[in-house]
Chains A and B, each alone.
Chain A
């Protein structure tokens, strides 16, 4: 491994991180916008946001990325590669995120809303002062999972020839032919980023819970990312129209 190759990797890693941060920001905006819309009083808002979620969860993120990059220009909209990647990842992971937001908001005890009504809070105050402060800490572990999935998803952008980590690995393989070493190294790099992200999210979760007077048990396991097998998994989310 030469210094030049490492330079290539770190350049790629930097673009990977940028892509992840932009997509995560878009996904977070979509997640809260759509997730809260799904709890709206108006059926049409619930319906339209439901269509959004089912569509973007139903299709493949990679196909969406290709569509935005190759097909959209034919409709008159040319997107730079990294923005096609950001848009595809943000829109589809936002759809998953919206189910996390909806689940956490609906998991806040109904009595909390009632107490807020009894104190004459406006609907907006009820949401921002009572519901969200209790719901957000619950969202942290599933958001952590989603962020890791998003990080893994950024590799798809290499197929649009965006110069992120996986694409740089391809260039390196073409120039050196050392496939095993190169792919081994970038797998480790991805893993390290995921590990650091998980640690950061654990700290944020701990802070968020402490700020509402709850303690978080120390993470079990050395990686301590909990997979959404039951609570926030698609099956729990999927139960459609249930209030």
Chain B
């Protein structure tokens, strides 16, 4: 039994905030990867040929239905054997981005499907070229539905970044762990990290809800 010590919290804060910075970077770059790859999957799944849609769909389902942590281990231990050596953070960003791209692809799909067919018909009736229909009619309408959903996956990704500690990325959890390993006092470091996650993700989700209300009218 030990007691909460604020001075200990003060001592460990710099290390934890350094971990937070890594966490934020992983989330940011991971999001960019997932936004881009997700769009690739979404468009590939609309391809006319089964030779494209089937392999992509199997790959997407496989990645989506297996644990991120194991995927991270796979990338971390297997890629170097194939001559691809990255910094742990880079591997983590690839893993996060790849895993979440299988979710964002669904967001894009739903966003595009959600535009009423009448919009296609109306735009076609005006003889707009196909490219113009996408840019001026479909995507702006899909955008409103897509942005809040993507934002939610960014928050989810943020909360999954501690998994990167498993592949030695020095994120918040990793920092908390290594502090505790020397002091043998886990209470403050892990509590602070847990609370920081709530303190960051809850206001962010409130912002997203506000954004969603503005976008989805």
Contacts and interface: CB of A to CB of B under 8 A. Distances in A.
A187 B202 contact: no
A222 B148 CA distance: 28
B16 to A, nearest CB: 12
Nearest to B155: A234
Contact of B62 (A166, A191, A225): A191
Contact of A63 (B151, B156, B197): B197
A27 interface: no
Q: Which of A63, A152, A166, A238 has the most CB of B within 10 A?
A: A63
A62 B23 CA distance: 14
A169 B70 contact: yes
Interface in B50-73: 57, 61-62, 64-71, 73
A152 B182 CA distance: 31
A234 B205 contact: yes
B47 interface: no
A132 interface: no
**Chain B contact residues: helix, strand, loop or mixed:** helix
B124 interface: no
A66 B175 CA distance: 13
Nearest to B172: A63
B149 interface: yes
Interface in B65-92: 65-71, 73-74, 77-78, 81
Given A58-B202, A70-B186, A155-B69, A180 B152 contact: no
B33 to A, nearest CB: 19
Contacts of A222: 57, 61
Interface stretch (A2-10, A71-79, A110-118): A71-79
**Chain A contact residues: helix, strand, loop or mixed:** helix
A243 interface: no
Interface residues of A, number: 53
Contacts of B166: 159
B43 interface: no
Contacts of A70: 180, 186, 190
Contacts of A155: 67-70
Nearest to A190: B66
A25 to B, nearest CB: 20
Contacts of B77: 173, 179-180, 183
A235 B107 CA distance: 12
B208 interface: yes
Contacts of B160: 60, 62
A45 interface: no
A75 B202 CA distance: 26
Contact of A190 (B2, B65, B103): B65
Given A60-B160, A66-B186, A235-B151, 20 more contacts: A54-B198, A62-B160, A62-B163, A64-B194, A70-B186, A74-B2, A75-B1, A148-B65, A153-B67, A155-B68, A155-B70, A180-B74, A187-B71, A187-B74, A191-B62, A194-B66, A195-B65, A223-B61, A230-B145, A235-B149
Interface of A: 54-55, 57-64, 66-67, 70-71, 74-76, 148, 151-156, 158-159, 166, 169-170, 173, 179-180, 183-184, 186-187, 190-191, 194-195, 221-223, 225, 227, 229-230, 233-235, 238-240
